Amino acid sequence: MNFLQQQGIQVQVIPGITAASGIAAELGIPLTHRGVANSVRFLTRHSRKGGTDSLFVAENAADPDLTLVVYMGLSTLPSLAQKLVHHGLPLTTPAVAVVRGTTPQQRMVFAELKDLANEISSAELVSPTLIVIGKVVALSLSPLWLYTSNQVSSLVRTI
């Protein structure tokens, strides 16, 4: 928007919802939930030159009572997951990765944090991908969460 305005192009903002809210709602995942997650943190895995490294931010996001939503984090998920676990987030933390969320082409992978990167690779998900990490993912209304991560991979490929 800033770029367009700098070029003299008139821009109109139409209020909407963020992908995190839309995708989470679509999957029946509350971003916060009493007794499960008391806050949500949005993180982009890419920063501008000279910006704060999001892995540093992740050190403060390794809280089991927090929901972490990662935009554009597919390529760096292994390092992010490792950093989160190193700082105390359980390996068994539920997570989901979603491509083309809220569209007919939506594809997703549900897995525990320790398996998520491998499951994403097996399912051949591509960018841009939204990743939700936290206990609230287990509250999903999606029947895919009811399966083990290996079963989910095969289901995702057939959906």
Task: Give the pLDDT score at 151.
Answer: 46
The whole-number mean pLDDT for each consecutive block of 10 residues of the chain, a chain of 159 residues, reads 92 89 93 94 72 63 92 89 92 95 92 95 93 94 56 43
CATH of the domain at 93: 3.30.950.10
For residue 46, being part of any structural domain is answered with yes
30 falls within a domain: yes
Domain range enclosing 53: 17-158
41 strand-pairing partners? 68
CA–CA distance, 69 with 42 (Å, rounded to integer): 5
Q: Domain total for the chain?
A: 1
- For residues 8 and 17, give the distance between their C-alpha atoms in angstroms, rounded to a whole number: 26
- 137 located within any domain: yes
Name the pTM for this structure.
0.80
Tokens of 15: 């209020």
